[in-house]
Amino acid sequence: MAIARWSLRALQLLKITDQKNSRQSTLNKSYSRSWNRRQFLKTAAAALALPTIVPSSVFGQNAPSNRITLGVVGWGMQGPGNTGSFLALEDCQVVAACDLDKKHLKSAVSAINDHYKNQDCKAYADYREMFARKDIDAVMLAVPDHWHGILAVAAAKAKKDIYGEKPLARTIAEQQAIVRAVQQNKVIWQTGSWQRSQALFRKAAEIVRSGHIGKITRVEVGLPAGHNDFARTAPELLERLGKTKGDCELLATIVPGSPEWEKVVSAPPEELDYDTWIGPARMGPYVKTRVHMNWRWNYNTGGGQLLDWVGHHVDIAHWGMDCDNSGPSELEGHGEFPAVNAIWNTATKYRIEAKYPNDITMIIAGGHDDIRGGTKWIGADGWVWVNRSGFDTSNPDWKAGKNLPEEMRKVKLYESAGHQRNFVDCIKSRQPTITPVETAHHSAIPGHLGLISMLTGRKIRWDVKQEEILNDTGASELLSRPYRAPWQLAA
């Protein structure tokens, strides 16, 4: 199944529709959101020490000036969790929700209203109507990557402070547009790279930044490989193919024109505005396993495991390397890919070598056993490794405790009291958050460039200051994507 790399000709295929190869079937089974609602309620309840009952008279147009009013966009895997944390903050008021799936929107509004015990949350199918509201201070955006650019730029131009998700966007050009819009409109930006708000990640980065492992020589970033059926939609499709049990990786082998393809394509469900969901991406037939949650496994809408995780573990790597505003100048990647037109076409296995200033080499890998999941900095005098599941280091004395002893903290990194808390505090103080937009941009760049290297099969030389690929027109074309009309980034 896997091929070493895609040719540039194959890349052109990304830009044309595969609609002509499809036959829309009438299969249209409903998609239960109940687990998501349970997940949301659990998050909100866990975040709350005491139930908060706020009278409805303080909501909406007349929100008190000390309470930040928030609109939330996207109620899928991440939106409910983010929103639950905002609901737990007494100086924040969630007043509006937007989604273009009617079932998701209904869940959002009822979860928010249930929390406040009123009916004040307004529902929107169109983000532009929500952003036009003058009484909304800030927005939380948890939409698929192909929508990040348009929504974030529109929100910044509407002068909303923004909690946006990682990776910053689907392409480097979109990221640059977001950075510009945030800077020009002077809005506060927080990225969903929440690991920075966790003590153990800060402790690891502080050990490195304080010089305790000596000069850094190598950084290893281990990310997941393959694909995950997050939406749990694969079994239904596999059943249509007559497979009662099956590996969801089968979806990475199904291409237009095959008998299997005919069985997995269907009409979009009534509740989803599929045309708008595709938005600026390339239009194609509806396949349930490449829409909600699983959009990450097709380069039309996402960036695979590499771009899904780069905003977590490379973000932490950069924190320890003091690279929040810089990055690698040379990258070479190798990956294994399904066919370019397969339902899931993102890399199943990948390895990128990136050259940073001061002779530091970073390896970013998925599916390679020699690179442990998480972030590991290796220096002349020792090493530190950190992941969500743990912390390890060459020096046993550094292991105890979530925080580094004061005397070891030669460099004290930004401390946040919680990722959403930090965003709201920064909206009030107008100070940078713990993961401002420039940080998110630089954290994702190695992922984007590594992918471009894998897709073209060439080493990429990157001008860090000018943010340009040097001497490679074909690779430079992949810094942006054509937008499907009428969608465009706000001028």
Ligand X SMILES: NC(=O)c1ccc[n+]([C@@H]2O[C@H](COP(=O)([O-])OP(=O)(O)OC[C@H]3O[C@@H](n4cnc5c(N)ncnc54)[C@H](O)[C@@H]3O)[C@@H](O)[C@H]2O)c1
Q: Which of these ranges, 43-51, 97-105, 181-189, 233-241, lies near ligand X under the rule CB under 6 A?
A: 97-105
* 362 near ligand X, judged by CB under 6 A: no
Mask: binding to ligand X, 134-153, rule CB under 6 A, as x and -? --------xxxx-x------
User: Which of 48, 77, 173, 255 contacts ligand X by CB under 6 A?
Assistant: 77
Q: How far is CA 489 from the centre of its chain?
A: 19
Nearest CA to 219 out of 385, 463, 369, 108 is that of: 385
* 48 near ligand X, judged by CB under 6 A: no
* 73 near ligand X, judged by CB under 6 A: yes
Q: Length of the chain, please?
A: 491
Q: Which of these ranges, 58-66, 98-106, 208-216, 355-363, lies near ligand X under the rule CB under 6 A?
A: 98-106
| Residue with nearest beta carbon to ligand X | 76
Looking at beta carbons only, is 73 or 179 nearer to ligand X? 73
Four-residue CA torsion sign, 71, 73, 79, 82: negative
Task: Reduce the DSSP state of residue 155 to 3 states and report it.
Answer: helix
Task: Reduce the DSSP state of residue 123 to 3 states and report it.
Answer: strand
Q: Which of these ranges, 52-60, 74-82, 373-381, 422-430, lies near ligand X under the rule CB under 6 A?
A: 74-82
Burial class (CB in 10 A: 0-12, 13-18, 19+), 88: buried
What's the min distance (Å) between Cβ of 450 and ligand X?
17
Q: What residues numbered 299-318 form the site for ligand X, per CB under 6 A?
A: 308
Task: State which amino acid sits at residue 236.
Answer: E
What's the min distance (Å) between Cβ of 100 and ligand X?
5
Q: What residues numbered 384-413 form the site for ligand X, per CB under 6 A?
A: none
Mask: binding to ligand X, 170-209, rule CB under 6 A, as x and -? ----------------------x-x---------------
What's the min distance (Å) between Cβ of 23 and ligand X?
25
Q: Do residues 474 and 468 touch, judged by C-beta distance below 8 A?
A: no
* 101 near ligand X, judged by CB under 6 A: yes
- What are the beta bridge partners of residue 71? 96, 139
Residue 71 in tokens:
């609109």
d(CA 241, CA 245): 10
Q: What residues numbered 223-282 form the site for ligand X, per CB under 6 A?
A: 277, 279
d(CA 484, CA 143): 18
Q: Which of these ranges, 96-104, 196-204, 220-228, 371-379, lies near ligand X under the rule CB under 6 A?
A: 96-104
Four-residue CA torsion sign, 422, 423, 429, 435: positive
Specify the DSSP element, H or E, that contains 433.
none
Task: Reduce the DSSP state of residue 234 to 3 states and report it.
Answer: helix
Intra-chain end-to-end CA distance of the chain, in Å: 42
* 481 near ligand X, judged by CB under 6 A: no
* Angle subtended at Cα 44 by Cα 151 and Cα 149, rounded to the nearest 5 degrees: 10
Mask: binding to ligand X, 422-461, rule CB under 6 A, as x and -? ----------------------------------------
Task: Reduce the DSSP state of residue 50 to 3 states and report it.
Answer: coil
Q: Which of these ranges, 75-83, 208-216, 397-405, 459-467, lies near ligand X under the rule CB under 6 A?
A: 75-83
Residue numbers at the binding site for ligand X (CB under 6 A): 73-79, 98-101, 104, 127, 142-145, 147, 165-166, 192, 194, 277, 279, 292-293, 295, 308
